[in-house]
């Protein structure tokens, strides 16, 4: 028993070493309650398995391997995305190979990682040596010891988890916490356990019932007084998610010989632009897309990635493509990669898109690809930065617009998601003759290379947008282009931290981030441009911040669609709110908080939206069908 409890401390310490990459932080963890609580969890699990299999080695192998793998996955995810491992990420296990391939350049074993692996192997060898001398008889071990350990684990870490574990660590279940905050308070194993524990007791209110939701619906109708849709010709709308796009020229400590975003900055003077609040950093594109197109805000519920939810959750809500298609729009989605990671085909196919195209499908609507003798060879000629280029995406959008409008299938809603500026950012991502930007900073080595390559990707995205706008300037029909970045580029360094950390803009370790860091580094940029300024949501050149939580209502407003009750509520909130995620909440008057507002008009609106989202997902859908109602 002593050997197993000591094993728990060893594995808990090694997980801290892997995640922090610091011996000093690991030793300092010995003075923290969360490490000892994690050690107790892992020690009891080791003891239960040791009793069950009558082998100290077997118990340590299973628990140690699971703990170390979990620590490495969390470490690399934070390194690449500055977002911790979430329960919902486990649904992507089948795509682990594809995800690893996308981020292969970041999967580097550092010195302390090797040290942790070596220490773990040494401990396993010691356990193997002592397994036979410490073996108990079958009856005492498997028939008595294992069940008792499982019972103790259950009593401490499940039925009594909140008062015995989470509350003492400052992470009580009554608190709304992001996964990053939970991990900071409890450590990764217990942080994930807390999320699993809290997921089983999801409830909007103790009074949740049909009567309760009828009252919520009535309050929503009073709160969300609708405004009539604009009485004008419906414009063609092109929505572009530009991978990892943000205004890099605004980073302190960084300058350029020439403006890398010249086209984007020029278009800002013609359109409406601003910061685009997002729920993640460096990854999670599919979740951002789903929030924009459906208004689903998982940060008001449990912050799980939406791509881990059943797609039925989204079909219950009036998604933007569905509403546009019902209003006479042709709706199409183009993605510049395949469907191997997030299963977009299934999710987006239920949102109202008439057609969905991935990179293997472009010959179906793009004449040059259809005419090519060798499709794969043709497509390889349009690579830029290891992915299909933003320039090709511009050509695809123009081609589809011409085809559909010639066929009389207008107005059109074309949605495109780019890939060129996706991680990773090794120096060899672009050939020397393809690099046209010159970032200037005090950075050297890997950090400087990442900034250089990311800047080139952003430059190419800006230029492709400029060419798309130039095509539509003389179009006789009204066209609105909505262009946004899903998140900042994840410029993770193999030595820990990010290039942003190297610039001194954010702490090196995620645990040290404050709410100001989250709001600053969870904000990309967006732009709305039109060939007819009358369709802009503001004066040309004006600034207006928004986010993935509220952009969908703006799309419906641009299209002149009468918003159903659900979107009228979101639109009403967008007038006073900028972003509401699990990590931070920002109002339009600049009030910033890491907790959900509960007072005033904003508190009421967010409470109503939370209740309605719960009812549509985990609840009984008492009033969900009535969210589609149009005044």
At 570-629, the pLDDT tens digits run 999 999 999 998 878 999 999 998 888 888 999 999 999 999 999 999 899 999 999 998
Assigned token pair, 380: 């390889």
Average pLDDT over residues 356-379: 94
The residue among 32 and 409 whose pLDDT is bigger is 32
pLDDT of 321 reads 97
Q: Terminal CA-to-CA distance of the chain, rounded, Å?
A: 68
Average pLDDT, the chain: 89
pLDDT of 449 reads 95
Give residues with Cβ within 8 angstroms of 185, minimum separation 6: 34, 169, 170, 171, 177, 191
Beta-sheet pairing, 577-580 with 330-335: unpaired
- pTM to 2 decimal places: 0.85
pLDDT in tens, 285-343: 888 999 999 999 988 886 666 667 888 888 899 999 999 999 999 999 999 999 887 77
CB count within 10 Å of CB 160 equals 12
Asked whether the predicted pLDDT for residue 80 surpasses 80, the reply is no
Nearest to 475 by CA among 529, 433, 431: 529
Listed range (144-158, 301-315, 451-465, 550-564) with the worst mean pLDDT? 301-315
Assigned token pair, 338: 């395949």
pLDDT of 202 reads 55
Split at pLDDT 50, 70, 90, the class of 106 is low
CA distances from 250 to 11, 256, 455, 537, 561 (A): 42, 11, 12, 24, 35
pLDDT of 97 reads 61
pLDDT in tens, 7-56: 999 999 999 999 888 898 899 889 999 999 999 999 999 999 998 888 89
pLDDT in tens, 227-274: 777 778 999 999 999 999 999 999 999 999 999 999 999 999 999 999
Split at pLDDT 50, 70, 90, the class of 164 is very high
CB 33 within 8 A of CB 169: yes
Q: Residue 309, CB half-sphere, CA atoms under 13 Å: how many?
A: 25
Split at pLDDT 50, 70, 90, the class of 349 is confident
3-class state of residue 172 by DSSP: coil
Asked whether the predicted pLDDT for residue 204 surpasses 60, the reply is no
pLDDT of 135 reads 75
Split at pLDDT 50, 70, 90, the class of 132 is confident
Asked whether the predicted pLDDT for residue 559 surpasses 80, the reply is yes
pLDDT of 156 reads 94
pLDDT in tens, 430-487: 999 999 999 999 999 999 999 999 999 999 999 999 999 999 999 999 999 999 999 9
Share of the chain above pLDDT 90, in %: 64
Cα–Cα distance for residue pair 514/616, rounded to 1 Å: 32
CB 76 within 8 A of CB 103: yes
């Amino acid at each position: 028993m002593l050997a197993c409890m000591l094993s728990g401390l060893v594995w808990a310490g090694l997980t801290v070493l892997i995640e922090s990459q610091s011996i000093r932080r690991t030793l300092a963890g010995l003075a923290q309650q969360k490490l000892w609580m994690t050690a107790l969890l892992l020690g009891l699990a080791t003891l239960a398995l040791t009793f069950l299999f009558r082998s100290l080695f077997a118990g340590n192998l299973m628990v140690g391997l699971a703990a170390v793998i979990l620590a490495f996955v969390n470490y690399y995810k934070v390194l690449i995305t500055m977002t911790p491992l979430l329960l919902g990420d486990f649904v992507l296990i089948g795509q682990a190979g594809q995800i690893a391939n996308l981020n292969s350049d970041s999967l580097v074993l550092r010195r302390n990682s090797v040290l942790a692996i070596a220490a773990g192997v040494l401990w396993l060898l010691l356990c193997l040596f002592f397994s036979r001398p410490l073996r108990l008889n079958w009856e005492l071990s498997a028939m008595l010891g294992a069940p008792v350990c499982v019972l103790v684990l259950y009593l401490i870490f499940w039925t009594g988890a909140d008062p015995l574990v989470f509350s003492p660590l400052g992470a009580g279940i009554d608190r709304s916490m992001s996964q990053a905050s939970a991990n900071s308070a409890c450590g990764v194993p217990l942080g994930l356990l807390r999320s699993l524990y809290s997921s089983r007791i999801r409830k909007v209110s103790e009074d949740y019932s049909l009567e309760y939701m009828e009252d919520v619906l009535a309050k929503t109708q009073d709160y969300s007084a609708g405004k009539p849709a604009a009485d004008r010709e419906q414009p063609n709308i092109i929505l572009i998610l530009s991978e990892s796009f943000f205004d890099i020229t605004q980073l302190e400590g960084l300058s350029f010989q020439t403006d890398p975003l010249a086209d984007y900055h020029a278009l800002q003077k013609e359109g409406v632009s601003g910061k685009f609040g997002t729920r993640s950093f460096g990854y999670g594109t599919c979740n951002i897309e789903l929030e924009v197109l459906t208004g689903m805000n998982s940060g008001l519920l449990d912050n799980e990635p939406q791509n881990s939810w059943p797609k039925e959750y989204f079909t219950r809500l009036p998604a933007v493509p569905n509403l546009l298609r019902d209003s006479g729009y042709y709706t199409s989605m183009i993605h510049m990669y395949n469907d191997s990671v997030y299963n977009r085909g299934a999710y987006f196919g239920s949102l109202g898109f008439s057609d969905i195209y991935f990179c293997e499908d472009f010959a179906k609507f793009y004449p040059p690809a259809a005419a090519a003798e060798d499709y794969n060879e043709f497509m390889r000629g349009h690579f830029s930065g290891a992915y299909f280029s933003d320039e090709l995406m511009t050509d695809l959008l123009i081609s589809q617009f011409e085809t559909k409008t010639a066929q009389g299938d207008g107005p059109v809603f074309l949605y495109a998601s780019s890939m060129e500026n996706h991680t990773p950012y090794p120096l060899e991502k672009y050939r020397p003759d393809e690099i046209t930007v010159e970032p200037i900073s005090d950075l050297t080595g890997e950090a400087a290379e990442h900034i250089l390559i990311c800047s080139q990707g952003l430059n190419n995205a800006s230029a492709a947008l400029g060419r798309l706008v130039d095509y539509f300037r003389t179009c006789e029909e009204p066209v609105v282009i909505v262009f946004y970045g899903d998140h900042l580029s994840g410029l993770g360094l193999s030595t820990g931290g990010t290039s942003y950390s190297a610039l001194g803009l954010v702490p090196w370790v995620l645990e040290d981030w404050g709410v100001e860091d989250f709001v600053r580094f969870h904000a990309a940029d967006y732009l709305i441009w039109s060939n007819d300024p009358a369709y802009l949501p503001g004066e040309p050149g004006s600034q207006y911040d928004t986010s993935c939580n509220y952009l969908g209502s703006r799309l419906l407003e641009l299209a002149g669609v009468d918003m159903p009750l659900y979107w009228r509520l979101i639109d009403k909130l967008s007038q006073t709110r900028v972003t509401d995620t699990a990590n931070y909440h920002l109002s339009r008057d600049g009030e910033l908080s890491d907790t959900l507002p509960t007072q005033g008009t904003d508190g009421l609106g967010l409470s109503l939206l939370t209740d309605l989202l719960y009812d549509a997902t985990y609840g009984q859908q008492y009033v969900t069908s009535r969210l589609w109602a149009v005044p």
